[in-house]
Amino acid sequence: MSLFISDAHAQAAPGGATGGGFEMLIMLGVFGLIFYFMLYRPQAKRVKEHKNLVSSLSKGDEVLTQGGMVGRIVKVSEEKDFLEIALNDTTNIVVQKSAISAVLPKGTMKAI
């Protein structure tokens, strides 16, 4: 229509490029496998290990909390899911079992 600008016309689609649904399903399957092996499976393994750690806590274990405090378990409350931890001879704190991040070897508190 314009004197200086020519009209743009779309190029015809090639005949063999129709479809593509099956390739999309394969790509979704590959992404699903990557998601499972890279994200879900390692996280599920860590959760299972932490549940085993929490269930094996007993009186006298030296533990590290998620807050970074090191102490010895004085009392385990089975019905309420709480622990009493002695940080030193005079200071005791109460924490949830899920706040324990690691069980330390015996004698760790004396070495610190």
pLDDT in tens, 6-53: 777 777 666 555 557 888 999 999 999 999 999 999 999 999 999 999
How far the first Cα of the chain sits from its last, in Å, is 86
Please, which contacts does 35-41 make with residues 24 or more away whose CB atoms are closer than 8 Å? none
Helices (H), the chain: 21-35, 41-55, 108-111
Q: Is residue 6 a part of any domain in this protein?
A: no
Residue 82, domain CATH: 2.30.30
The answer to whether residue 28 sits within a structural domain is no
In a domain, 64, yes or no: yes
Look at residue 31 and tell me if it is in a domain: no
pTM of the complete model: 0.67
Residue 5 DSSP class? S
Question: Domain range holding 65?
Answer: 57-111
Residue listed under structure tokens 């090191």: 70
Strand 82-86 and strand 70-77: the pairing is antiparallel
Number of domains, the chain:
1
Res. 63: pLDDT tops 80: yes
pLDDT per position as a tens digit, 81-104 = 899 999 998 999 999 999 999 999
